[in-house]
């Protein structure tokens, strides 16, 4: 066992590790109970990412996945302002995809609405991660507040 920063969760942890061909540490187990490597000892980070993408996961799991991939790919150094600007960029691309879908001419190549919604979700989760906000809990809390609001109808 060695005490180093875990490549999954980024925290200092006791774990056994060996270098794989890509130079990424192959996890054998992490001592942090909130780390995927604790829950799935021996799982390589790339296998964890594949496992996550193949199954149905909660919003909390998606946030964790985005955090893990961000660390692995070096995106964890982006500031919140940079993430907010990326969110704005992705939102613009989503609007362009909707325009194309609705038959409104667009001047550049666009991705699918599904792809752009995914990018918006990714940036939203990354911003939430920056502030340690659990989006699922935040959503539930906001819905409880909204139940007490008086809504004006937008219908004519």
* CATH code of the domain covering residue 69: 1.10.287.1080
> Domain range for residue 73?
56-142
Q: Are residues 37 and 73 in the same domain?
A: no
Please give the Cα distance from 125 to 60 (Å, whole number): 9
Q: Are residues 49 and 112 in the same domain?
A: no
For the entire predicted model, the pTM comes to 0.64
- Which residue is listed with tokens 């959503």? 139
Q: Are residues 43 and 76 in the same domain?
A: no
pLDDT tens per residue, the chain (156 residues)? 455 666 556 666 554 444 332 334 444 456 666 665 555 555 555 665 665 555 567 888 889 888 888 888 888 889 999 999 999 999 999 999 999 999 999 988 899 999 999 999 999 999 999 999 999 999 999 999 988 888 787 766
Domain tally, the chain:
2
Residue 18 is given by DSSP the state E
- Write down which residue in 13, 28, 55 finishes a domain: 55
- C-alpha 124, offset from chain centre: 8
Radius of gyration of the chain, Cα coordinates, nearest whole angstrom: 19
- Write down which residue in 40, 55, 70 finishes a domain: 55
Q: Are residues 61 and 114 in the same domain?
A: yes
3-class SS at 78?
Answer: coil
Please give the Cα distance from 95 to 28 (Å, whole number): 44
Please give the Cα distance from 151 to 12 (Å, whole number): 48
Residue at 138 is within a domain? yes
């Amino acid at each position: 066992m060695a005490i180093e920063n875990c490549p999954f969760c980024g925290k200092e942890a006791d774990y056994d590790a060996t270098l794989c061909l890509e130079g990424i540490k192959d996890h054998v187990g992490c001592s942090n109970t909130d780390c995927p490597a604790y829950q799935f000892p021996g799982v390589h980070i790339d296998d964890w990412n594949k496992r996550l993408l193949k199954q149905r996961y909660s919003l909390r799991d998606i946030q964790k996945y985005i955090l893990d991939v961000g660390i692995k790919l070096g995106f964890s150094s982006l500031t919140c302002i940079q993430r907010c600007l990326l969110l704005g960029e992705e939102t613009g691309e989503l609007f362009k995809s909707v325009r194309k879908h609705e038959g409104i001419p667009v001047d550049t190549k666009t991705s699918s609405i599904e792809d752009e919604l995914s990018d918006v979700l990714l940036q939203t989760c990354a911003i939430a991660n920056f502030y340690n906000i659990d989006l699922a809990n935040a959503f539930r809390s906001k819905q409880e507040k909204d139940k007490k609001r008086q809504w004006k109808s937008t219908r004519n």
